[in-house]
Structure 1
Amino acid sequence: MDLIIRGPNKIYAVLPRVILPFKRAFNTNNKKIIVTAFKVLQLMVLLGPCVGRALVPFYRQLLPVCNLFKQINVNLGSGVDNQRDDRIGDVIEDTLQILERCGGPEAYINIKYLIPTYESCVRN
């Protein structure tokens, strides 16, 4: 995470090289590893210029794991949840929303194709 924070303009250049390690992390089915990988992905998209749009072609490698864990969340209504950052379903939902916002016009279509239960955060 320190590398991403200190050199956000270099993320785009190495993006194709990090897809396979992300895919391996997601395929472990270890919730802690998946949550950490999604948090790193969020940081890359938020800080790196054009990273959100550049990731759209890689959604097929990165997002299928979301279908397995997306529904593991807690609905507190209007309550405040301090553990939201540790719950895999909530982290996945946050990541998908970031990818949709930063991925350009094609992002939602690709996310919806891979995760049929996803609801847009932009088009509401």
Structure 2
Amino acid sequence: MSTVLVVDDDPNVRQILREYVEREGHRVLEAADSSFARKAMAQERVDLIFLDVLMPGESGTALCHSIKDDPECQGMKVILLTGFDGERAWSQGLRSGADIFLVKPVNRERIKVLLEELLTPERLA
């Protein structure tokens, strides 16, 4: 069982993702912003993080940069989430180092496929 951290300031988005991820047999942690996300990652080993781009305080793209630059987080997969589907949003997502960039609202079947792809033992090594 993998541990997935869902970081979004919208509790409805966190709840939906929690349900989708738990349905696939993974453990879920939640955080409403980057500060709480950092605390969760310091206390627990996280395999994958769903990370909202726009949140109060530190942005999701800034946190993604930090995660990808931190040797302690090596191997952690990051899926950036945004409500905006435009060239600028995609460009920021790619530059942040995210593994996947998704536009909300999320789809249960797409989440299932991403979990299967990103949380294989080979990908987590």
Is TM > 0.5 for Structure 1 vs Structure 2? Answer: no
TM-score by length of 2: 0.34
| Higher percent of residues as strand | 2
- Normalised TM-score (structure 1): 0.34
Q: Which has the higher helix share?
A: 1
Q: Greater RCO between the two (CA within 8 Å, min separation 6)?
A: 1
